[in-house]
């Protein structure tokens, strides 16, 4: 018989309530980034770049659930592992964006050490706008831009043998393939207020570095989550003017693996003054949204049901998936979407330089 079972009923109830309150105020820490959602212009251009040039897999072809006249593309590793998917809304008529305060200024992906020569050669071949490598926190970083001007980075890291990501090798060899997120960089007018939110979510400040930083910032502070993929959030102070549009990040989502984890995290951020939404069913995961004090849109996303909940693994991204009530409007929705062709090739077997 346990100690708790020998307690009088009222004492057991008090102990249970204390445990619940402890979880509410101290939620399980987020393992890291779940996905990043960005704004693009032309859907075909977006597909060509992220599938063929960068070698990610189109794991889901759908529509924006708040604006079903617009595609929603999900690019990820071979299995759509949490922490690997960057997603896009191709809003062609939107203005060109400008990265500034209150935004994710750069999105960084992990690639295997020794693969940056391959990537520079590939960028030259495909005409990608890229910058010189920089050293940051002891890691080598290759900054570049997608066709809409979205700032992106590749960070060369050691990929552990038990890494949860599964490389997709249709266009890029395994020893160079992107292996999920490394980090996001936040540009903020008042970093301290956002840092309090990050700590509440279970990220710990690890180190600060004066240089190199983003072009408008003088110091970069790194926060680390508990997982391996999408582990880092970098914070940079800036007053640069932002404008949402093509080439900017719409929101960043953090993993809260279960509904219980998400509920506890929602309560915790609400306790520090943030105003989260109720849970919203996004079909492949369930979401809670809130704007942190500097205006960056954060999402808490569950790990499941996952991208294979409505398509077999070997058929991910091959058809337009319209969740729930949208499937009843398939004819009307598809008539308003641009024709697209997903790049296809045989798997690459060659080694990277």
pLDDT tens column, 239-269 = 999 999 999 999 999 999 999 999 999 999 9
- Which range among 7-16, 23-32, 90-99, 340-349 shows the weakest confidence by mean pLDDT? 7-16
> What is the chain's alpha carbon radius of gyration, rounded to the nearest angstrom?
21
- For the chain, which residues make up each domain, given as ranges? 33-309
Mean pLDDT score, 66-86 = 98
pLDDT(270) > 50: yes
Q: Which two tokens stand for residue 67?
A: 């604006």
What mean pLDDT, rounded, does the chain reach? 92
**Res. 20: pLDDT tops 50:** no
Name residue, tokens 């984890």: 261
271: which residues sit within 8 A by CB, 6+ positions away?
24, 25
Residue 279 has pLDDT above 70, yes or no: yes
Q: What is the Cα–Cα distance from 113 to 274, expressed in whole angstroms?
A: 39
What are the residues whose beta carbons fall under 8 Å from the beta carbon of 3, sequence distance 6 or more? none
Q: Which residues of 108-133 are buried (b: 16+ CB within 10 A; e: fewer)?
A: bbbbbeebbebbbebbeeeebebeee
- What is the pLDDT at residue 2? 47
- Tell me if 118 sits within 8 A of 352, measured CB to CB: yes
Whole-model pTM?
0.90
DSSP H or E run through 196: helix 191-200
Percent of the chain with pLDDT over 70: 88
Q: Give me the sheet containing 103-112, strands edge to edge.
A: 134-136, 139-145, 151-157, 103-112, 181-188, 232-237, 220-224, 204-209
Superfamily of domain 33-309: 2,3-Dihydroxybiphenyl 1,2-Dioxygenase, domain 1 (3.10.180.10)
The pLDDT value recorded for residue 238 is: 94
* Token pair recorded at residue 261: 């984890």
Eight-state DSSP code of residue 119: H
CA–CA distance, 203 with 322 (Å, rounded to integer): 35
For 307, residues 6+ apart whose C-beta sits below 8 A from its C-beta are 59, 60, 74, 76, 79, 80, 85, 284, 316
* Average pLDDT rounded to a whole number, residues 217-233: 92
Segment 187-206 shows an average pLDDT of 98
Q: Is the CA virtual torsion 94, 97, 100, 105 positive or negative?
A: positive
Is residue 352 scored above 70 in pLDDT? no
Reported as a single tens digit per residue, the pLDDT across 172-182 is: 999 999 999 99
38-74 pLDDT tens trace: 999 999 999 999 999 999 999 999 999 999 999 999 9
Gap between the Cα atoms of 353 and 119, Å rounded: 9
Q: What pLDDT, on the 0 to 100 scale, is given for residue 13?
A: 58
């Amino acid at each position: 018989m346990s100690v708790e079972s020998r307690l009088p009923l009222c004492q057991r109830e008090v102990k249970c309530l204390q445990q619940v309150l402890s979880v509410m105020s101290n939620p399980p820490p987020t393992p890291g980034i779940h996905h990043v959602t960005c704004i693009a212009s032309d859907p075909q251009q977006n597909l060509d770049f992220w599938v063929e040039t960068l070698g990610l897999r189109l794991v889901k072809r759908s529509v924006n659930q708040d604006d079903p006249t617009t595609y929603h593309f999900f690019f990820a590793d071979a299995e759509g592992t949490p922490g690997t998917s960057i997603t896009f809304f191709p809003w062609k008529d939107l203005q060109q964006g400008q990265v500034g305060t209150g935004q994710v200024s750069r999105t960084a992906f992990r690639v295997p050490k020794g693969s940056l020569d391959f990537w520079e050669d590939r960028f030259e071949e495909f005409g990608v706008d890229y910058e010189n490598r920089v050293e940051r926190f002891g890691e080598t970083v290759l900054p570049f831009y997608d066709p809409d001007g979205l700032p992106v980075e590749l960070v060369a890291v050691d990929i552990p043998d038990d890494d949860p990501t599964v490389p997709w090798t249709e266009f890029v060899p395994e020893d160079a393939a992107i292996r999920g997120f490394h980090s996001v960089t936040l540009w903020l007018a008042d970093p301290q207020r956002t840092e309090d939110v990050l700590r509440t979510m279970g990220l710990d400040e690890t180190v600060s570095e004066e240089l190199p930083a983003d072009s408008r910032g003088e110091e970069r502070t790194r926060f680390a989550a508990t997982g391996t993929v999408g582990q880092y959030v970098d914070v940079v102070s800036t007053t640069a003017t932002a404008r949402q549009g093509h080439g900017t990040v719409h929101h960043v989502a953090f993993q809260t693996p279960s509904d219980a984890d998400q509920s506890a995290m929602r309560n915790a951020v609400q306790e520090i003054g943030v105003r989260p939404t109720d849970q919203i069913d996004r079909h492949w995961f369930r979401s809670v949204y809130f704007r942190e004090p500097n205006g960056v849109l954060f999402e808490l996303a569950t790990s499941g049901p996952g991208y294979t909940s409505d398509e077999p693994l070997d058929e991910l991204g091959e058809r337009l998936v319209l969740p729930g009530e949208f499937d009843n409007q398939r004819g009307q929705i598809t008539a308003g979407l641009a024709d697209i062709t997903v790049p296809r090739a045989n798997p690459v077997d060659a080694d990277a330089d």
